[in-house]
């Protein structure tokens, strides 16, 4: 049931909504992900990222709105959706009492992939995830990070057209994280990927486009550069000064409405900041400017600006 | 067969859980041995009368163990990940129930082998007895699937108690024929008394297929309905 107009769209959602009794977990989210695109969903804890993914994977029935994956409607054609997707859930999801091989065969077999293909792909993934040596052991004995790696491999083994990765690199050491990043890079263009992450540099480096959601709603959408450019001229002036007071920040706000307190002083959007003005405000209050410099806007700044929240880490 | 790997995983899961295996096979055996030791002149305690009842008791244990592990699995993140694969409800049902069939068969064989030591005699067709027990096993495993899909781990033991009481007072243990009255009326509405009376008739009086076809149709009818409900229960659980 794929019409010509849908060919370039892998995931689309319109006014997608999920209520838990009176609580609104996802509030009318729109989503258009192109084929082969790597699309990141960013948002603070409880924003509704996982809930959105569960609706797209047919694990939760939307309260309202529609969604489709590769032209298959999640409500009317769940089997069609399930045959083209794979999900790496936020929690580690593995069968504990069997081996890593068995876990991978379980996923491959459930997708109707033949044994020989499953074995070849499993072998490659176990290699990539650094689990070859212990692949025959019951995974119950694995460390947390090893279980996590296996859980991700279980989503990759079916080589899906659309891959949902819900915080894939959570709890992994830097080496494993890099291995997964480079694997994702390789999939880019071929596989459509919807990723959620709390590592903003991960989204910045990997994602073609990012949608930021906060309190169940979309607050921004764009390429990483577009999002960073949305903050003044893409620069931030950092002023480090010990003993900053609320009164001083209030005074600075007269000139710079966007001033923000940080752990070491304040940050002001833009590169055109007059340091003398700032010292005129701080000096009478006995606050000494230790240093000031300009830095590139990062996604962290965008995130903080849009949601008023700092991501953990 | 897309459900083959799921069946395999669940099969390993069953055989690598020694405690529940010990319970499902060991407990009925223990029961049989104890009752044989207490044996009196009463006909009801004869091996031929006792073995089918003990086997059914074993199947009820198996139902409990199947229901518990399905209920536990259902709340796991692995299960929800399996729900994102194209497995159909019937394939889930197969994958979760099939591994218990060999356990049921082994249970019955062990129980009958021990009963044979105590002097079990089968006057009628052994194949017919095996068939009756097999249908019984399918029925109880399917019941386990229904219970496991609809109830939480905390609720399963209570539902198990209800089924156990129904089975005991419905003829698996108490001889409803001789008590008569309300027990017999109620027992006759459930499949347990029919299954037991069919098996006992074949074993002790050498009844043939046509003699027990009335009881058998109750049993088979119930089994078909229960398997149907199990499939519906699985379908209902596919999306929260
Ligand atoms: N089963 C449920 N019943 C009630 N509320 C729920 C349920 N599942 C999630 N929620 C609520 O929905 C909101 C969104 O949750 P969700 O898991 O989608 O957040 P998230 O963006 O993935 O957060 P995180 O970054 O912590 O993973 C949260 O406030 C959560 O408490
Ligand atoms: Mg989440």
Question: Tokens 């764009």 appear where?
Answer: A222
C-alpha span between A225 and A52 (Å, rounded) = 25
Q: How much is the average pLDDT of A1-13?
A: 70
Q: Which of B2, B1, B141 is nearest to B69 (CA)?
A: B141
Q: How much is the average pLDDT of A293-305?
A: 78
Give me the interface pTM, i.e. the ipTM: 0.86
pLDDT at A1 over 60: no
pLDDT of A4 reads 45
**A147 neighbors A131 (Cβ within 8 angstroms):** no
Residues of A in contact with B82 (CB under 8 A): 106, 110
SS3 category, B87:
coil
Residue A79 sits at the chain B interface (C-beta within 8 Å): yes
pLDDT at B43 over 60: no
Residue A83 sits at the chain B interface (C-beta within 8 Å): yes
User: Chain-centre distance of CA A306, in angstroms?
Assistant: 16
pLDDT of A195 reads 94
pLDDT of A182 reads 87
Tell me what the pLDDT averaged over chain A comes to.
88
pLDDT of A122 reads 97
pLDDT at A283 over 60: yes
pLDDT of B94 reads 93
Strands A9-20 and A64-69, how do they pair? antiparallel
Q: Which domain holds residue B96?
A: 4-239
**B89-99 residue pLDDT tens:** 999 999 999 99
pTM given for the model: 0.85
Q: How far is the CA of A131 from the centre of ligand 2 (A)?
A: 26
Residue B84 sits at the chain A interface (C-beta within 8 Å): yes
- Band of residue A64 on the pLDDT scale cut at 50, 70, 90: very high
Compare all CA atoms of chain A with the CA of B1 and give the residue at the minimum distance. A112
Chain-chain contact of B80 with A94 (C-beta, under 8 angstroms): no
DSSP state of A48: S
Compare all CA atoms of chain B with the CA of A163 and give the residue at the minimum distance. B84
C-alpha span between B83 and B238 (Å, rounded) = 7
Find the distance separating the first CA and the last CA of chain B, reported in whole Å. Answer: 26
pLDDT of B206 reads 81
pLDDT of A9 reads 92
Q: How far is CA A30 from CA A15, A38, A52, A69, in A?
A: 5, 16, 10, 13
Encode A204-233: b = buried (16+ Cβ within 10 Å), e = exposed: bebbbbbbbbbebebbbbeebeebbeebbe
**Is the Cα torsion angle B40, B46, B50, B51 positive or negative in sign?**
positive
For residue B109, how many other CB atoms are within 10 A of its CB? 13
Q: How much is the average pLDDT of B11-20?
A: 87
pLDDT of A176 reads 87
SS3 category, A93:
coil
Residue A107 sits at the chain B interface (C-beta within 8 Å): yes
**B203-219 residue pLDDT tens:** 888 888 888 888 889 89
**B160-198 residue pLDDT tens:** 999 888 887 766 666 656 666 776 777 778 888 888 888
pLDDT of A313 reads 41
Helix axes B47-74, B156-167, angle to 10 degrees: 160
**A167-211 residue pLDDT tens:** 998 888 888 888 888 889 889 888 999 999 888 888 888 999 999
pLDDT at B4 over 90: yes
Listing DSSP states for A132-175 in one string gives: GGGTTSBGGGS-HHHHHHHHHHHHHTT--SEEEEESTTTT--HH
Range with the lowest mean pLDDT among A13-27, A219-233, B156-170?
A219-233
Q: Tell me how many domains chain B contains.
A: 1
What is the token pair recorded at A192?
């459509």
Chain-chain contact of A109 with B5 (C-beta, under 8 angstroms): yes
Element (H, E) at A296: strand A289-296
State the maximum Cα–Cα separation within chain A, in Å, rounded to a whole number. Answer: 76
C-alpha span between B56 and B60 (Å, rounded) = 6
pLDDT at B135 over 90: yes
- Band of residue B157 on the pLDDT scale cut at 50, 70, 90: very high
C-alpha span between B133 and B127 (Å, rounded) = 10
Q: How much is the average pLDDT of B126-150?
A: 93
pLDDT of A289 reads 86
Encode B8-17: b = buried (16+ Cβ within 10 Å), e = exposed: bbbbbbbeee
- Nearest atom in ligand 1 to A18's CA: 12
Find the distance separating the first CA and the last CA of chain A, reported in whole Å. Answer: 44
What is the token pair recorded at A110?
């459930």
> In chain A, helix, strand, coil percent, each to 5?
40, 30, 35
Tell me what the pLDDT averaged over chain B comes to.
86
Range with the lowest mean pLDDT among A29-33, A183-187, B83-87, B204-208?
B204-208
C-alpha span between A72 and A250 (Å, rounded) = 53
**B53-66 residue pLDDT tens:** 889 889 999 999 99
C-alpha span between B22 and B17 (Å, rounded) = 9
Q: How far is CA B213 from CA B140, B197, B202, B204, B221, in A?
A: 20, 11, 11, 16, 12
- Nearest atom in ligand 1 to A49's CA: 21
């Amino acid at each position: 049931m794929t019409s010509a107009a849908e060919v370039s769209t892998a995931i689309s959602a319109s006014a997608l909504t999920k209520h838990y009794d009176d609580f609104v977990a996802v509030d009318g989210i729109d989503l258009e992900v192109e084929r082969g695109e790597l699309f990141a969903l960013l948002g603070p804890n409880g924003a509704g990222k996982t809930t959105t993914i569960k609706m797209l994977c047919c694990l939760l029935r939307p309260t309202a709105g529609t969604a489709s994956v590769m032209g298959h409607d999640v409500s009317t054609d769940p089997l069609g959706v399930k045959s083209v997707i794979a999900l790496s859930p936020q929690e580690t999801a593995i069968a504990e009492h069997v081996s890593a091989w068995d876990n991978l065969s379980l996923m491959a077999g459930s997708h109707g992939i033949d044994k020989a293909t499953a074995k070849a792909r499993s072998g490659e993934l176990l290699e990539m995830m650094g689990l070859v040596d212990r692949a025959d052991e019951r995974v119950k004995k694995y460390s947390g990070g090893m279980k996590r790696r296996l859980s991700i491999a279980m989503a990759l083994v079916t080589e899906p057209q659309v891959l949902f990765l819900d915080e894939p690199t959570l709890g992994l050491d830097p080496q494993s994280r890099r291995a997964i990043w480079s694997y994702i890079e390789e999939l880019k263009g071929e596989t459509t990927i919807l990723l959620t992450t709390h590592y903003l540099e991960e989204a910045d480096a990997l994602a073609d486009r990012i949608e930021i959601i906060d309190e169940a709603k979309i607050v921004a959408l764009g390429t990483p550069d577009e999002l960073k450019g949305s903050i003044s001229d893409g620069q931030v002036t950092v002023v480090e000064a010990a003993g900053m007071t609320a009164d001083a920040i209030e005074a600075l706000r007269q000139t710079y409405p966007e001033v923000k307190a940080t752990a070491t002083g304040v940050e002001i959007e833009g590169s055109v900041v007059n340091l003398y003005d700032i010292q005129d405000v701080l000096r009478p209050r006995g606050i000494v400017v230790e240093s000031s410099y300009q830095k590139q806007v990062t996604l962290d700044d965008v995130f903080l600006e849009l949601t008023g929240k700092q991501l953990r880490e | 067969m897309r459900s083959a790997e799921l069946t395999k995983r669940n099969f390993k899961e069953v055989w690598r859980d020694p405690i529940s295996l010990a319970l499902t096979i060991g407990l009925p055996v223990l029961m049989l041995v104890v009752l044989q030791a207490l044996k009196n002149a009463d006909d009801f305690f004869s091996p031929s009368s006792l073995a089918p009842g003990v086997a059914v008791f074993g199947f009820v244990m198996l139902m409990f163990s199947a229901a518990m592990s399905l209920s536990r699995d259902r709340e796991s993140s692995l299960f929800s990940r399996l729900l994102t694969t194209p497995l159909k409800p019937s394939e889930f049902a197969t994958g979760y129930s099939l591994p218990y069939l060999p356990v049921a068969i082994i249970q019955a064989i062990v129980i009958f082998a021990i009963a044979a030591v105590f002097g079990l005699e089968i006057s009628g067709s052994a194949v017919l007895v095996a068939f009756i027990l097999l249908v019984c096993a399918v029925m109880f495993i399917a019941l386990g699937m229904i219970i496991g899909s609809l109830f939480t781990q905390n609720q399963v033991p209570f539902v198990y108690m209800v089924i156990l009481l129904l089975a005991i007072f419905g003829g698996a243990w108490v001889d409803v024929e001789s008590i008569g009255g309300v027990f017999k009326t109620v027992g006759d509405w459930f499949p347990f008394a029919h299954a037991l009376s069919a098996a006992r008739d074949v074993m002790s009086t050498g009844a043939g297929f046509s003699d027990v076809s009335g009881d058998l149709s109750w049993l088979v009818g119930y089994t078909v309905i229960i398997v149907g409900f199990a499939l519906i229960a699985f379908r209902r659980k596919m999306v929260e």
